[in-house]
Structure formats: structure tokens, C-alpha cells
């Protein structure tokens, strides 16, 4: 089961410390209702949190502390003293089993396993990632992701509810004909800052959303939202953080 959340600041759309208690509350809710949500049997399903950019910083730097201070119901002073002792000794009551982030995020207590992902075109590891790997051995892991190539159906595979196979091939051919790909598979330049790519995506979206478009009848969506979704998918091929 996948649960998606949006940041509370919809102006900047960036995650910050105000979001950590909200995420902690949701994680605790999922953990406390495992049987109701996923069935009985006593088997606990691991809960993982994933984020990139500001979301990654929030997960690794602010969420752990929010989880420690989260309480599902009022407790007596004796219970709070016991839990405070347990909190300082272990993380047994933390309702998240691991965090996955993209090449960013500091490390604070409590010790929660963290996997740092770097895309294929990210040549350098960020300082906080290097520090985390050195200081938290056994609790952190780095996984470099393999290169992703652009194929005629790539867009449809990544956005199946937005783009048809025919439309995916159309955009692929537009990009290929402009000689924007190295060896016909990967972008030569960052597609987010390449004006030719931006022009092709805009042209593609306008044509796709025309009322007389008969190819597989994709859902009508806002052109800006569709262009942004396509841009983020193309950044995967570029192989860098989608915010780069």
C-alpha cells in the first residue's frame, strides 16, 4: 500500500519542520492499525518512508524527533518516565522501519535505517551523505541507481494513465529527430534547462490535449500539470535529482 502526502506549505511546495508531526501521526496510525489494514496473523508489514530534496531533509533530520514525541493517548507521569528512559535507550517504539532518500539528508537520533539513493548522473555524493555513511555504519546504505535509457514507450510506461503508447512514440521521435540524445538513448543536456526539450514538450502537450485527439483518449488534464509530469520523467533519463 502506498500513502502519499503533500507538504503543508503549498506556496513553496517544500517540506519543512511543520510537516514532520503530520508525517509522524500518519506513520503511527498505520503502525497501530496493521491488523485492520493488512489482516491479522500477527505478522507486521514493514513501513518505509521515501522522500527527495526537502522531503528527504525532513525525513532524516526532523521526522525522527517528531516520532519520539508523538503520543497516541494521554499517559501518566509514570508512563512518560518509563517511555523517556526507553526513548533514550532504544528505538523499539518508532513506527517506521526505514527511510529512503535521494542523495540528501542529515542524520539525527534516533537511529533509523536509511538508504541513500543516487541517480546515474549524480557524480558527487553530498557532504551529509558522506558523513552519514561514515558515522552511522550498519544503519546506512548507499545504492547508486543504474542508468535509465529513453525508449519509444518509456513515457507511457512511466505515465500509463496520462500518455498512450502512440503518444509516447511521438514525443520520442520528436526528441530523437532534434538529435538531443546521446547514442539515441540518453540526453546530452539537462532536459529541464534545455530550451529545445521545453519547446518540444510544450508542443506535444498542446497537441495531446486537443479535443480532436483520437489516440487512446487519454484523460483531459491541465497542460501545466502534464508538462511538469513529463519533465520529471525525462529527468529520470537525465539521471539526476529531479530538482537539479
Which is more confidently placed, 211 or 156? 156
Range of weakest confidence among 56-65, 67-76, 227-236: 67-76
pLDDT class of 78 with cuts at 50, 70, 90: low
Q: Average pLDDT of the chain?
A: 79
Query: What is the phi-psi region of residue 70: left when phi exceeds 0, alpha when psi lies from -120 to 50, beta otherwise?
Result: beta
Range of weakest confidence among 123-137, 170-184, 199-213: 123-137
Q: What is the pLDDT of residues 179-231, one digit of tens each?
A: 999 888 889 899 989 999 999 999 999 888 775 545 555 555 778 889 989 99
Residue-level pLDDT at 23:
92
Give the Cα separation of 65 and 91 in Å (integer).
11
Amino acid at each position: 500500500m502506498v500513502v502519499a502526502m503533500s507538504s503543508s506549505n503549498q506556496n513553496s511546495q517544500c517540506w519543512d519542520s511543520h510537516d514532520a508531526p503530520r508525517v509522524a501521526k500518519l506513520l503511527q496510525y498505520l503502525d497501530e492499525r496493521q491488523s485492520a489494514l493488512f489482516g491479522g496473523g500477527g505478522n507486521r508489514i514493514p513501513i518505509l518512508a521515501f522522500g527527495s530534496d526537502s522531503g528527504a531533509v525532513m525525513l532524516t533530520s526532523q521526522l525522527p524527533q517528531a516520532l519520539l514525541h508523538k503520543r497516541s493517548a494521554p499517559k501518566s507521569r509514570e508512563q512518560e518516565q518509563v517511555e523517556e528512559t526507553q526513548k533514550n535507550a532504544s528505538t523499539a517504539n518508532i513506527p517506521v522501519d526505514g527511510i529512503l532518500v535521494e542523495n540528501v539528508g542529515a542524520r539525527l537520533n534516533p537511529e533509523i535505517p536509511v538508504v541513500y539513493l543516487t541517480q546515474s548522473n549524480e557524480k558527487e555524493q553530498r557532504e551529509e551523505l558522506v558523513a552519514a555513511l561514515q558515522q552511522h555504519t550498519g544503519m546506512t546504505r548507499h545504492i547508486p541507481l543504474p542508468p535509465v535509457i529513453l525508449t519509444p514507450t518509456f513515457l507511457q510506461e512511466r505515465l500509463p494513465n496520462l500518455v498512450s503508447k502512440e503518444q509516447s512514440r511521438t514525443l520520442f521521435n520528436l526528441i530523437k529527430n532534434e538529435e538531443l540524445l546521446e547514442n539515441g538513448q540518453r540526453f546530452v543536456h539537462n532536459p529541464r534547462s534545455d530550451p529545445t526539450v521545453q519547446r518540444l514538450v510544450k508542443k506535444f502537450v498542446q497537441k495531446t490535449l486537443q479535443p480532436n485527439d483520437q489516440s487512446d483518449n487519454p484523460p483531459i488534464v491541465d497542460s501545466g500539470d502534464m508538462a511538469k509530469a513529463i519533465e520529471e520523467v525525462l529527468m529520470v533519463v537525465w539521471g539526476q535529482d529531479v530538482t537539479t
